[in-house]
Structure 1
């Protein structure tokens, strides 16, 4: 691990979790934060390990992986650059609920839980803001689980692509945030199913695919197409 970068403060301030933090408090937290560099496939933490930090992605991507009762693993979220993750353990305590692994060369900022909690205990208004953000995140995850349980493969993929669109009423070009196999796992699909659905969308004139770049000429048409499935 190495000393944190000079721009770590501004990166944290851009997140909703730290947007209201005074500069002095943020700098106090950063004095004990560190950068961690990972290679492709390296494990940052494992499921059920004691939680003592949470993280901000500075470069690369992180896969959050959960183990099913059958022993199989599923990617439940793909964490991208400038995203915070594992912050919920600050309030839940105990252990990490998932395993975090690097998808390619990745650098994260490791933020110590003990100091984070100490600061919050002195600032109850900040604590309320943290809880509000986590509540919103929980609602999002519940919505995602419902989608995975009732939506068809076409609906799952269309919804995912539309989430990546900056706007839904104009043509868009998006970049998949991970390899297609990881995206398929994130959506609860096999890679083969993902390829078939992409092919059907392409034949319908809804998308153009060039490796991980996807062009969507009419996002609203894609939404209507998915609704028919």
Structure 2
């Protein structure tokens, strides 16, 4: 791991557009970034482990981080996949002092690490920082509610179809997208077992969806959107 790296232009742009930081004044940004270090980690490296003391929260600058919990039997339950611009563990700033899940890099990843205690002290001094943290936690809560709703209301093919449609560059006609990560990570992101994801892709063939590795091709985006397989009707 390389620590205390300087931000390159791309990573700086991602960081400043992150919901947690967007809208903060320049003066506050400088103070907040004084509590930050930048690190690069290889794939499959633990950033945090469930139960460990929570001494930092993170913003993903590049790569992906998988958040999950383990049962006593060793079964894994995916919580979310954090993409560039996503922040995780900031909810612990005002709550518990131990991580509630495991965070594992899915590929080589660059992270902005914010020291928990330093940001806590800054938030007490600067209401603007406290408001930004609360707003970030609120967005995460809304995303969690949406995720639970999708799990309860929609079938596996519907979840996969909605994911595909939401990422197609065109509204109608043929389209092609490339998954940004391995399919097993997509399965966890959508709350599916890998075999359930494979079955969902198979069922979507009749709606014009074909999968080759990470490439997903759609015969007609509008037709997929209006099909029984999709919830976006």
Q: TM-score range by the shorter chain?
A: 0.7 to 0.9
Aligned partners of 1:199, 1:63: CA distance in 2, in Å? Answer: 25
RMSD between aligned residues: 2.4
Counterparts of 1:1-229 in structure 2, within 5 Å, are 1-7=3-9, 9-68=12-71, 70-165=73-168, 168=171, 172-205=175-208, 207-225=209-227, 226-227=229-230
Note if contact 1:46-1:100 (Cα within 8 Å) is conserved in structure 2. Answer: yes
The structure-2 alpha-carbon separation of the partners of 1:201 and 1:13, relative to structure 1 and needing over 3 Å to count, comes to same
Unaligned runs of 5+ residues in structure 2 are none
Aligned partners of 2:114, 2:146: CA distance in 1, in Å? Answer: 28
For residue 90 of structure 2, give the secondary structure of its aligned residue in structure 1. Answer: coil
With the length of structure 2 as denominator, give the TM-score of the two structures.
Answer: 0.84
The structure-2 alpha-carbon separation of the partners of 1:140 and 1:9, relative to structure 1 and needing over 3 Å to count, comes to same
Aligned partners of 2:161, 2:103: CA distance in 1, in Å? Answer: 26
Note if contact 1:65-1:74 (Cα within 8 Å) is conserved in structure 2. Answer: yes
Note if contact 1:53-1:113 (Cα within 8 Å) is conserved in structure 2. Answer: yes
Aligned partners of 1:227, 1:209: CA distance in 2, in Å? Answer: 17
- Which shifted more, 88-97 or 6-15? 6-15
Note if contact 2:28-2:129 (Cα within 8 Å) is conserved in structure 1. Answer: no
The structure-2 alpha-carbon separation of the partners of 1:167 and 1:140, relative to structure 1 and needing over 3 Å to count, comes to farther
Question: Per-residue CA shift, 1:149-198, capped at 9, x if unaligned?
Answer: 33211112112223334565565432223211121122232322212221
Unaligned runs of 5+ residues in structure 1 are none
The structure-2 alpha-carbon separation of the partners of 1:167 and 1:122, relative to structure 1 and needing over 3 Å to count, comes to farther
Question: Per-residue CA shift, 1:193-219, capped at 9, x if unaligned?
Answer: 2122212323431x2323212233433
The structure-2 alpha-carbon separation of the partners of 1:80 and 1:136, relative to structure 1 and needing over 3 Å to count, comes to closer
With the length of structure 1 as denominator, give the TM-score of the two structures.
Answer: 0.85
